[in-house]
Structure 1
């Protein structure tokens, strides 16, 4: 089968590799669509980061570069192991793409399994990936979806779960006001979750294309350009001097983080969703004197079933966030390069291994 394999920095190759074999407790899947994630771009430009380098196999998967990439994917079941009795060939599914040790009780709702030792992701740490024609995944990580949900939209359920997990961590409630720093894919999808839960959403963003997307999708009640207005003053004005109840950092920009700290109410909550490649300077004095709480939000745990229901029930429409569809051969030129050099025009580019 054909697959996109990470070998080294800016070295991703479309190769023919053996199709994975079905084994006990697993499900065989034909990949439908796979989204390109920001972490994929970081691996391409600067990696290996999460991908285990050649000569340093991952302690759980046992794999090392070259690695098949892609972790935001959907597909169709083609076969199930003899001990899997609750999925059938032909079903649409999405993948919760974790690589987690067998000793972690992932079915226990009290366990934050995304924080377990040596956790990694299918499509980054091994075990195949969505930038390939076929994949075999442990049943635990395979979630069925309704037939009326397109496989293209279903590929966005994984990043949507990131936004939903951040929402849960924030403890926001219907009627609250949220401020989001950044209208990239995670910022927009977090906004979609918040709106679906009855939260008023303000977004701060400088990109013209992303500001337009926030407005046209209806996920933001207000969109601010910090080059044109004082975001803290605008939030204060719109909330009658109170400030936002919660805020979400989705840019990895220190100035944005400090703006959010200043824009939330005293004892407000700032959820950091970003992965940082540097150590930001944080206005700790403002944070301490106003007792602002900063919470880290890492990926998701036990969130996929709820997120899938939200999409199936029509509470969230994912179609408007898809801004490109390409085949596997165009992954770098029309996928990675577009998102790196023309990200103003794109939210999520999807890849089909059979297009």
Structure 2
């Protein structure tokens, strides 16, 4: 089969590699759509994210969906021909975190496209059956791939115990921030305030349900948020941009006794935060690491067609064009929202 292999940063080539063999509870999936994620771009540009370092050639891509073509002898959950969304992190199932249901914290997780684990820019992928989720015929493979970033927003809303009627600010309208709009809307948020630098992303946010949009190059987001909330601030703020200024702005946007979820990862490890502000206002701060137990909920919501996530897909590339797809996602932020790669032909 063909695979898009990153030999080193900025160097991706199409190689012929063996089709994986499945046994036991493993399933072979024909990969139909893969979204390009910000983490893919980070590895492509820098060769590392925090403690995860690319030390040998790797296959990127983890937002994926496809069709089951072969099953191991112990598989009972799916069958050949099933259309599935692929949850990319395979956990041990035995550690304390897995047993508590917080399997995203499993120290032995094997997460697609996180060194040294290969990802989904391939024609066929082997995956354990308990991390495959059947999708209806009317949910496209592209939409099913977007369950992955959508899950991050669901997990953040769960962690922050988001209540119906809440006012939420989301800082950063990349794909995760945009899908987070749909997530908080599903949780019943009534005022959804979003910020970004790019007008095209703010326009996309409006279509997805944002009630107020702020271009931070033109307005002070904290002043606007104070005006919108009658000086109180928001119940919950999500920082999804991985930007130090956005993180500080999110903290200032939260009302007394409110909550902030840190979703984006900044390039540096340490950022100055106003500790007296946190303590005096008794703010709750939540770290968000991927997600757990979100895929069934995410699939159900996307199948309900309450939100048009297809509108996020702006660019389509074949597997042979994976390098061009990465460059488009990296350099075309003014026009591109979600770049999609199709390992078995553009749909």
1:227 matched residue in structure 2 = 217
Which string of whole-angstrom CA distances, capped at 9 and with x for unpartnered residues, describes residues 35-89 of structure 1? 10111111011114476644xxxxxxxxxx3222211000001111121123111
SS in 1 for 2:3: strand
1:285 matched residue in structure 2 = 276
* Structure 2: gaps (5+ residues): none
Q: Are 1:214 and 2:205 an aligned pair?
A: yes
Alignment match of 1:101 (pick from 79, 92, 112) = 92
Cα distance change, pair 256–53 in 1 and its aligned pair in 2 (3 A): closer
2:238 matched residue in structure 1 = 248
Cα distance in 1, alignment partners of residues 298 and 93 from structure 2: 25
2:125 matched residue in structure 1 = 135
Q: Are 1:303 and 2:294 an aligned pair?
A: yes
1:60 matched residue in structure 2 = none
Cα distance in 2, alignment partners of residues 140 and 127 from structure 1: 18
Q: Which shifted more, 24-33 or 192-201?
A: 192-201
Alignment of 1:1-355 (within 5 A): 1-49=1-49, 53-54=54-55, 65-101=56-92, 103-104=94-95, 108=99, 110-125=100-115, 128-199=118-189, 200-215=191-206, 217-278=207-268, 279-333=270-324, 335-355=325-345
Cα distance in 1, alignment partners of residues 149 and 25 from structure 2: 26
In the TM superposition, what is the alpha-carbon distance from 1:118 to its structure 2 partner?
4.1
TM-score (norm 2): 0.93
SS in 2 for 1:268: strand
Cα distance in 2, alignment partners of residues 212 and 26 from structure 1: 42
Which string of whole-angstrom CA distances, capped at 9 and with x for unpartnered residues, describes residues 102-143 of structure 1? 6337874x3311112143412334564321000111111111
Total equivalences in the alignment:
342
Cα distance in 1, alignment partners of residues 85 and 259 from structure 2: 31
In the TM superposition, what is the alpha-carbon distance from 1:336 to its structure 2 partner?
1.1
> Does the Cα contact within 8 Å between 1:128 and 1:135 map onto a contact in 2?
no
SS in 1 for 2:70: strand
Cα distance in 1, alignment partners of residues 132 and 208 from structure 2: 31
Which string of whole-angstrom CA distances, capped at 9 and with x for unpartnered residues, describes residues 17-51 of structure 1? 00000111111110010010111111011114476
SS in 1 for 2:208: coil
* Structure 1: gaps (5+ residues): 55-64
Cα distance in 2, alignment partners of residues 106 and 134 from structure 1: 30
Q: Which shifted more, 66-75 or 118-127?
A: 118-127
Cα distance in 2, alignment partners of residues 52 and 19 from structure 1: 26
Cα distance in 2, alignment partners of residues 167 and 336 from structure 1: 29
Cα distance in 2, alignment partners of residues 227 and 74 from structure 1: 37
